[in-house]
Structure formats: structure tokens, C-alpha cells
Copies of this chain bind each other. A is one copy, B any other.
């Protein structure tokens, strides 16, 4: 396949898309939607969000050194988008979108109750990069809808969540599951077993 060269750009896709809640008093509460976010460290569990300094939420998070990452779903798609295009300077986003500010367990920033999974984050560093500053954070607590937890195994049922993904300016729901991490080597083992059985 012949390749074309494009000028440098952000073509890493697909990305997560999450609603970040911030503010430690009701008057300050706000929500910003970001796709510039990700996991950066397993132990301790750490993540980042990148925000332009001119965004309304920027100073709120910088001041409080905390925020909550609220995962988004197909059902929340329109709200997720709205919180990304509108500014907290003009709107009380919780009120406008009819979202419930719930109490976090370790920090003062509210979790969005309508989101199935909420990650409470404490900012460890802010790195200036250019158009965006990167907020490096430690995840100090995770809140999850009770009905997602399996009573028998203690595992989390992600399959029915319909989480949102963001790719090249569009929101997608996750599609077909292709395999579990490690499936490429497990498949080979099974093939070998079958061959072995046939031999005997």
C-alpha cells in the first residue's frame, strides 16, 4: 500500500471521551468534556487530561488540584457533546443537562451520578506543552454503579455499558469484542492441542 505524507497532526485514534467534573463548591461546579486524556501509569494508578488555559474549567482545576473523570456511554452521548461545546461561563452545566452532583469519597469535587464509573483524581503536576497544559493526576478512588458488579465473581461487567469512543471528530459506541488481551497466544495453544489429539 502506497503511503501519503500529511503535515504533523493528532491522528491517534480512537480516543476515550470523558466528562471531567470540577469545582469544590456548588457555585464553582463545572463539567468539561475531553478526549485528550489517558492512563499513564499502572502503579500508582495515574492518568492525565490536557486542557487549553482559556477554558473555563482550567483555573478551577488548577486551583483545587483535583477533578473527577466520569466515563461516558451511548445514552450520555448528547450530554457529553454539549458539555464539550458549551462553556461554564454561560451555563450551569449540571442544571442545564439535569445531571446529579454526587459526593466523592476522597475529594471535594462532585462525581456525575449518571455516569457509570467515576475516577477521583488528585493533580500531581501541570506541564505546559503549547496549546494545552497537561494535568498529571493520581487516581485516589473509583466509584462504580452497583449493578455493574457481579456478586459471584466480584468482576465488573463492561459489556452492557455501551461506552463511548471518540475518533477523528466523531463519537462511536464500541462494537464487536474481538478478543481478550493474550488471545493471540491462547489460540495457538488450542490449535496445538487439537493437532496433538488427532495424533493420538
Contacts and interface: CB of A to CB of B under 8 A. Distances in A.
B105 A9 contact: no
Nearest to A183: B81
B145 A1 contact: yes
A174 B162 CA distance: 11
A79 interface: yes
Given A134-B41, A174-B167, A185-B82, A46 B2 contact: no
Nearest to A46: B129
Interface stretch (A22-30, A31-39, A57-65, A191-199): A31-39
Indicate the member of A13, A14, A119, A138 with the most B CB atoms within 10 Å.
A14
Interface string A1-24: 111111111111111101000000
Closest 7 CB pairs of A and B: A175-B175, A38-B38, A41-B129, A81-B184, A82-B184, A43-B131, A6-B142
Interface of A: 1-16, 18, 35-48, 50, 69, 71, 74, 77-79, 81-82, 84-86, 102, 105, 111, 113-114, 116-119, 127, 129-132, 134, 136, 138-147, 149, 156, 158, 163-185, 187
Given A6-B143, A8-B141, A172-B176, 20 more contacts: A1-B116, A1-B145, A8-B142, A9-B139, A10-B45, A12-B18, A15-B16, A15-B38, A16-B38, A35-B39, A42-B131, A44-B130, A78-B179, A79-B184, A81-B179, A166-B181, A169-B181, A172-B175, A173-B175, A174-B175
